[in-house]
Amino acid sequence: MKTVLAAAIALAVGGNAAPAPQITESPLAGPEPPVRSSVFDGPTAHGAFSGEATTTGALSKPALAPSIAPLPPLPVTYTNNNGELQAPVMPVPYQPAGGIGTNGTEPYYHPLSDFDYESFVVALYQEWIELDLFHDGLAKFSEQDFTDAGLTAEDRSLIEFMANQEVGHATLLSNILGPAAPPQCTYNYPYTTVREFLDFCQKLTRFGESGVYGFLGHLDSQAAATLLLQSISTEARQQMIFRQFDGLHPMPVWFEVGIPQSWAWTLLAPYISSCPANTTRVAWQNFPALTVLNQPNPAKLNPNLGPDQAATGSNPLNATTRSPLADAPRYAMFVSQLNATYVPLVNITESGASAVQPNMSTFAGDPAVNGTIFISITSQNPYLTPYNLSMINPFVYAGPALYQAG
């Protein structure tokens, strides 16, 4: 790999340059950035938690209703069927009318609601674990272990670089949140080999990425959303790299799936064993866990060979956070690409059930079920599309589980 360190950059422009903009002091004061020492202090502690927790459970306030009632769409104030500019004027030459934050308003790169704040909180918990995880794999396994798994010195150096990217992501999100941004925690990882480490990395980055896509378009602060997208696009590249290290096709789908914050938190929380006292808590739901018993195993030559077991299994009976609307397990909800599809559960037992993987497509025969699918057990089957997916939350009985069909 060659890097150009210093080079003269010659630029030629056709017309007269615009006058230099006048830079003035910002009148908008955001929250203070947090004081962080853990970022550069090396790995945090690892392993299971022993002791007595000072705080558990989600942050909460009284709820107005058990579920969100559907509403009709807002009036549509714009249509364009002829490709012409529809407004009579433009704000400036070459800038079509409209857009959010395009009229000179100074950007405010911080949360503008509890929804924004809590979305960034769960995203920051995710960035912190990634920062620790990528370092942990490099520290835990020897050069020989990586070589035996088919990875070179350059591959290890790329993992190290990805860990450093997480320093940037965690700093950005901490600064967006301000003084109460959560710090790094203690983590408990399930891998014991390099192959398992790589597979865990591609799974963890997968739900981190999908968790952000689920809320990005709903944020009140579009300015903060822009910065988050710029970091999550890097995370999406990390996910593809870990998939390839894992021997998988990097992106066997046409669209990347988005999931609600509570789904991402449910998938992330089991790997956090504890956090320092007074760590800012999360308001999202941690649903009862769901396990796919016959998850394809990427470490096998034929991922379909393995013990013959039920399609999905869960242990949902001891759930205490569950909504009263999630009264019984009835459907397996497959969330993939652009689609949410419900399959009736069969062979329901005390701790599990089965469902047949649906055969459906996004467009032009592209199989929707490929790559990563998120499966939840639900009590109802409302019709949902990517932008109103979180309306399922009160009906989630267990899950999601991450299922990788390809």
Ligand X SMILES: *[C@@H]1O[C@H](CO)[C@@H](O)[C@H](O)[C@H]1NC(C)=O
Return residues touching ligand X (CB under 6 A).
70, 100-101, 103, 105, 249, 252, 277-278, 310-311, 315, 317-318, 338-339, 341, 346-347, 351, 354, 356, 359-360, 362-363, 367-368, 370, 382-385, 388, 391, 405-406
Residue 261 or 314 having the CB closest to ligand X: 314
Residue 139 near residue 146, CB atoms below 8 Å: no
Q: How far is the CB of 298 from ligand X (least distance, A)?
A: 13
Q: How far is the CB of 100 from ligand X (least distance, A)?
A: 5
Dihedral, 274, 112, 229, 271 alpha carbons, nearest 10: 10
Q: How far is the CB of 20 from ligand X (least distance, A)?
A: 24
Give the other-Cβ count within 10 Å of 50's Cβ. Answer: 7
Residue 174 or 312 having the CB closest to ligand X: 312
Residue 163 or 219 having the CB closest to ligand X: 219
Give the other-Cβ count within 10 Å of 384's Cβ. Answer: 17
Q: How far is the CB of 307 from ligand X (least distance, A)?
A: 14
Q: How far is the CB of 69 from ligand X (least distance, A)?
A: 8
Tell me phi and psi for residue 83, to 5 degrees. 75, 0
What is the spatial distance between Cα 14 and Cα 322, in angstroms, rounded to a whole number?
63
Residue 259 near residue 374, CB atoms below 8 Å: yes
Q: How far is the CB of 128 from ligand X (least distance, A)?
A: 18
- Beta strands 312-314 and 352-353: pairing type? antiparallel
- What is the token pair recorded at 286? 């941690």
Residue 82 or 103 having the CB closest to ligand X: 103
Contacts of residue 176, defined as CB under 8 A and 6 or more positions apart, other chains included, come to 109, 110, 111, 120, 224, 227, 228
Residue 201 or 389 having the CB closest to ligand X: 389
Q: Determine the 3-state secondary structure of 135 from DSSP.
A: helix
Residue 189 or 245 having the CB closest to ligand X: 245
Instruction: Give the bridge partners for 46, in sequence order.
Output: 187
Q: How far is the CB of 26 from ligand X (least distance, A)?
A: 17
Q: Which residue of the chain is nearest ligand X when measured via CB?
A: 252
Residue 344 parent element (H or E): strand 339-344
Residue 168 or 386 having the CB closest to ligand X: 386
